[in-house]
């Protein structure tokens, strides 16, 4: 009897074979193709190493909707074996499962582990677009690198918008991965070194160890890459990832409250109760987070209604993990208000005396390069010497930032044109204090002298300068992504007690910045690299 033939499923679409484990962007590209070809499998093949073997990820999107179907296949032809089949809209989960398979850990996972392994869910309707890693990575990662080295291969790569920081850390833990996790956010970089999934050392521009992990857990944006087998000799972390994630909960909530209230580094803080007694202050802060009462009093006392958060943190340096709960307390306990402009503006002292400022300005011109408006190199050495004498007599610390700014061109890195130097100086002048001195240094470098400043605060200033320089174009023709910046930070007496050594230390730190691609490097950090 005649029987109608069953319709055969369409042949799968096979993408180009890759050499190496697919990263987030590769898996996302495969999903995009599957979404264009509903009810038809799309195969993403690659060759895994150690041991060498053929692998394939099959992706199927149903015409009726629902999460995509993912199938991992080991081998080809008659020897192929289906290792697992999973339905999920979580690209991060799939990427991590592939990494786990290819790294040789084939232990079965239960449903609870699979859930923990995943990141932010993404469906066909809400998956964001992802560009290639080379164009997606922030400038800060290759801030001043001139070499044409082959990029390292990341076995795990993605965006914190799609896979949260806790999920990234949990994925590394479950996969028992060894190597370096680098997370970048604008000009900030946090590195975490792992051994068999456990963190051993972490660093950020402001802190090291568990504090750097806690800061990372507050990030909701940024790009991450995991480089296998990168190691560090430093050991600054003793507690587990699970414990740190659990402890970060209140900190993350406090940070979110601050963001909802519009707190930025440029926010002006205003006292809401100018005549508050000490007892009344203590009663109010007792309703907030349990913090040092002395530190809260000290910080509250420096609020002068004319300083931004950035300026306050220069006066009393804290790392991010320390100042988030402090600012949170002042806000929720109704002690401060925020504004975008100061309520009090000081008059210039000489103007108050009736002194003609034009004569002073005329004298200053002799100490500056007219084409840039910056202090000449020999003159800043004189001021630097005077600041050194001040330290000898009073013990007042001071710091030095030596930095270079270059334009990235097809021919390599070139010095900034004069018009761009002037614009860069204008932006830096908006960040620095009146007592800070900005000048030329040697042939193509620049120097920023910071009196009464410790290394931690100076590092924060350097980071702030990079932010304002990278914020937008310096000129109509220069995209901020083509501006290469390298900062070296050092201080007396923290790093040394000799002026010649101070200059050498700052230059060494700047050279470390160039070599590492990290835009801001302190002398102390450079010695550990």
pLDDT per position as a tens digit, 37-69? 888 999 999 888 777 888 999 999 887 777 788
Tell me the average pLDDT across 359-381. 84
Task: Tell me how long the chain is.
Answer: 529
Look at residues 384, 387, 464 and name the one whose alpha carbon lies nearest to residue 428.
464
- Whole-angstrom CA distances from 488 to 480, 510, 521 are 20, 4, 5
pLDDT per position as a tens digit, 169-217? 988 888 888 999 999 887 688 999 999 999 999 988 778 899 999 999 9
Q: Which two tokens stand for residue 47?
A: 């060759």
Tell me which DSSP letter residue 208 carries: B
> Is residue 166's pLDDT more than 70?
yes
Distance separating alpha carbons of residues 46 and 16, to the nearest angstrom: 8
pLDDT per position as a tens digit, 419-435? 889 889 999 998 898 89
pLDDT tier, 492 (very low <50, low <70, confident <90, very high otherwise)? very high
* Residue 138, pLDDT score: 36
Distance separating alpha carbons of residues 370 and 362, to the nearest angstrom: 12
- Domains in the chain, please, with CATH? 13-109 (no CATH), 152-255 (no CATH), 261-339 (no CATH), 358-527 (3.30.70.270)
pLDDT tier, 124 (very low <50, low <70, confident <90, very high otherwise)? very low
The least confident of 17-31, 79-93, 110-124, 287-301 is 110-124
Q: What is the DSSP string of 352-387?
A: HTT--HHHHHHHHHTTEETTTTEEPHHHHHHHHHHH
* Average per-residue pLDDT for the chain: 81
Q: Is the dihedral of CA 188, 169, 221, 57 positive or negative?
A: positive
Distance separating alpha carbons of residues 63 and 69, to the nearest angstrom: 12
Look at residues 183, 136, 229, 143 and name the one whose alpha carbon lies nearest to residue 515.
143
């Amino acid at each position: 009897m005649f029987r109608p033939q069953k319709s055969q499923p369409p042949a799968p679409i096979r993408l180009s074979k890759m050499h190496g484990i697919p990263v987030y962007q590769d898996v996302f590209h495969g999903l995009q193709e599957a979404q264009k070809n509903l009810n038809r499998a799309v195969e993403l093949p690659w060759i895994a190493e150690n041991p060498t073997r053929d692998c394939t990820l099959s992706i199927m999107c149903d015409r009726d909707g629902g999460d995509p179907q993912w199938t991992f296949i080991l081998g080809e032809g008659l020897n192929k074996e289906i290792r697992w089949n999973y339905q999920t809209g979580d690209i991060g989960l799939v990427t991590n499962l592939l990494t786990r398979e290819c790294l040789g850990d084939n232990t079965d996972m239960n449903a609870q582990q699979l859930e923990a392994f995943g990141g932010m869910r993404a469906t066909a309707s809400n998956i964001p677009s992802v560009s290639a890693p080379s164009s997606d990575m922030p400038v800060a990662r290759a801030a001043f690198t001139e070499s044409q080295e082959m990029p390292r291969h990341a076995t795990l790569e993605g965006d914190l918008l799609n896979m949260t920081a806790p999920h990234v850390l949990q994925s590394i833990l479950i996969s028992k991965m060894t190597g370096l996790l680098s997370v970048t956010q604008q000009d900030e970089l946090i590195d975490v070194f792992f051994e068999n999934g456990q963190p051993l050392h972490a660093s950020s521009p402001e802190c090291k160890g568990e504090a750097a992990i806690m800061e990372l857990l507050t990030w909701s944006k940024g790009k991450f890459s995991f480089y296998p087998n990168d190691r560090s000799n430093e050991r600054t972390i003793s507690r587990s990832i699970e414990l740190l994630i659990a402890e970060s909960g209140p900190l993350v909530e406090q940070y979110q409250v601050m963001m909802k209230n519009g707190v930025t580094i440029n926010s002006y803080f205003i006292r809401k109760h100018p005549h508050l007694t000490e007892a009344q202050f203590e009663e109010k802060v007792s309703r907030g987070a349990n913090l040092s009462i002395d530190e809260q009093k000290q910080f509250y006392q420096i609020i002068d209604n004319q300083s931004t958060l950035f300026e306050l943190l220069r006066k009393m340096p804290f790392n991010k993990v320390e100042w988030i709960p402090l600012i949170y307390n002042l806000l929720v306990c109704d002690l401060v208000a925020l504004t975008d402009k100061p309520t009090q503006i000081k008059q210039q002292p000489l103007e108050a005396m009736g002194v003609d400022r034009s004569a002073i300005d005329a004298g200053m011109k002799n100490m500056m390069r007219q084409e840039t408006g910056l202090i000449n190199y020999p003159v800043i050495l004189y001021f630097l010497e005077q600041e050194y004498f001040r330290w000898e007599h009073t013990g007042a610390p001071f710091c030095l930032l030596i930095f270079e700014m270059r334009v990235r061109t097809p021919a390599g890195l070139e010095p900034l044109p004069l018009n761009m130097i002037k614009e860069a100086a204008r932006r830096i002048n908006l960040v620095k204090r009146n007592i800070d001195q900005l000048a030329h240094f040697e042939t193509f470098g620049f120097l920023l002298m910071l009196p009464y400043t410790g290394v931690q605060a100076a590092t924060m200033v350097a980071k702030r300068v990079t932010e304002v320089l990278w914020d937008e174009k310096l000129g109509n023709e220069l995209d901020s992504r083509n501006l290469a910046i390298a900062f070296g930070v050092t201080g007396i007496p923290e790093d040394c007690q000799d002026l010649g050594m101070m200059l050498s230390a700052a230059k060494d730190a700047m050279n470390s910045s160039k070599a590492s691609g990290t835009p801001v490097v302190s002398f102390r950090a450079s010695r550990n690299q």
